[in-house]
A = this chain, B = another copy of it.
Amino acid sequence: LKTDNQNSSTSDGTTKRKRNIGEIARYLGGEVVGDAAVEVAGIASIEEAKPGDLTFLANPKYRAFLNTTSASAIIVGPDDDVSKCQKPLIKHKNPYLAFARALELFFGSHYDFPADIHPTAILGKDVLVEEGVHIGPHVVVENGTKLRQGSTILAGCFVGADSEIGEKSLIYPNVTIRENVKIGKKVIIHSGAVIGSDGFGFARDGIRYHKIPQVGGVEIGDDVEIGANVTVDRATLGVTRIGKGTKIDNLVQIAHNVNIGENCIIAGQVGISGSTQIGDGSVIAGQVGMAGHIKIGKGVIVGAQSGVTKDVPDGTTVFGYPAREIHKTKRIEAHLSRLDLYVERLKEVEQALKKIQKNSR
């Protein structure tokens, strides 16, 4: 079973080629329930799917669509209640992962770039260009930088001196990578991101601020993805580090000397202040802010918009402004919803007391 490696630009998620769900289930490592000969030619969400589409159920919020979707077949999890569902199913232990792999099967690699250097690209001295590298129009790569095998730098990017772009990494248009930035293998960096800008460091001298030279670097591990318009500052000394497999959403700010572990999720518009550390496998929800010089443990979850001001132990879920252990914040929130009532009860107590005091005189 081959994937379609053509650039598919249809917006509705359909392609022409039909596949039966038996072969799809085998490719995904799932099990067919129902007619394995049913054919599908596209993939769509459970709300929008039409006949001929494959769909999936991964978010319980969409469970109600299981019996109403127009899709021809559905990828479901082992525990989903499918007793009322007449459609052929692919049972899979991880339906969302199966969906991801089905998309790859139907759509192939979105970008497939030839090994060439556009004539308008400007390369400095001693730039190493390994086999299979693609460099787009108006790219600038400065002296001594290494572009590893199969890496792709698209239009308008700037890559500073003595940096390195790892094997098969993909840099989208208009990214800025400053000097002395080391990027691993299969990294994806989206447009407008800035990697290696100066850390925000100033020494106060009377009423004026004196710039601290930012002479460190940035190191980004393999399989990292960095969203559009993200900023990752270089270290003052040493490196700002993002561990392998970590995924960073759009408009995130990562300050100088931050150290993020492996396989973390950092959602949109998060801000992480200087020298803060985040352990492996942590999940930081959108718009969270973190103070500088703190240590977030491994496997920590931080709820959206929280303000984290101190160390968080391994495996803890924190939430709120300021961030507290989540059950504590939830109790406070519940109390806040009842404040009106508490104040009313306090008044009643006061009145009852007054009455008692009056009577006892």
Contact = CB atoms under 8 A, between A and B. Distances in A.
Interface of A: 7-13, 43-45, 48, 58-59, 61, 94, 96-97, 99-101, 103-104, 107, 110, 118, 120, 122, 136-138, 140, 144, 154-156, 158, 160-162, 172-174, 176, 178-180, 182, 188, 190-192, 194, 197-198, 200-205, 207-217, 219, 223, 225, 227-229, 231, 233, 235-239, 245, 247, 249-251, 253, 255, 257, 263, 265, 267-269, 271, 273, 280-281, 286-287, 289, 291, 293, 304-305, 307, 309, 321-322, 324, 328, 331-333, 335-337, 339-340, 342-343, 345-346, 349-350, 352-353, 356-357, 359-360
A173 B158 contact: yes
Given A45-B236, A188-B198, A291-B304, 6 more contacts: A9-B180, A13-B238, A228-B233, A249-B253, A253-B286, A359-B360
B200 A227 contact: yes
A273 B245 contact: no
A190 B180 contact: no
Q: How often does this chain occur in the complex, in copies?
A: 3
Contact of A61 (B122, B293, B345): B293
B307 A304 contact: yes
13 contacts: A58-B203, A97-B205, A103-B236, A158-B173, A158-B174, A158-B191, A192-B229, A194-B229, A273-B286, A286-B289, A287-B289, A332-B339, A349-B353
B13 A216 contact: yes
Nearest to A345: B346
The 8 closest A-B pairs by CB, nearest first: A11-B217, A97-B203, A176-B191, A197-B228, A158-B173, A13-B237, A194-B228, A9-B162
B251 A179 contact: no
Contacts of A357: 352, 356
B194 A190 contact: yes
B191 A9 contact: no
Given A48-B237, A174-B174, A194-B228, A9 B179 contact: yes
Nearest to A331: B340
Contacts of A304: 289, 291, 307, 309
> By CB atoms of chain B within 10 A, which of A48, A140, A161, A219 has the most?
A140
B331 A322 contact: no
Given A180-B9, A291-B304, A107 B265 contact: no
A22 to B, nearest CB: 22
Given A267-B200, A271-B287, A213 B104 contact: yes
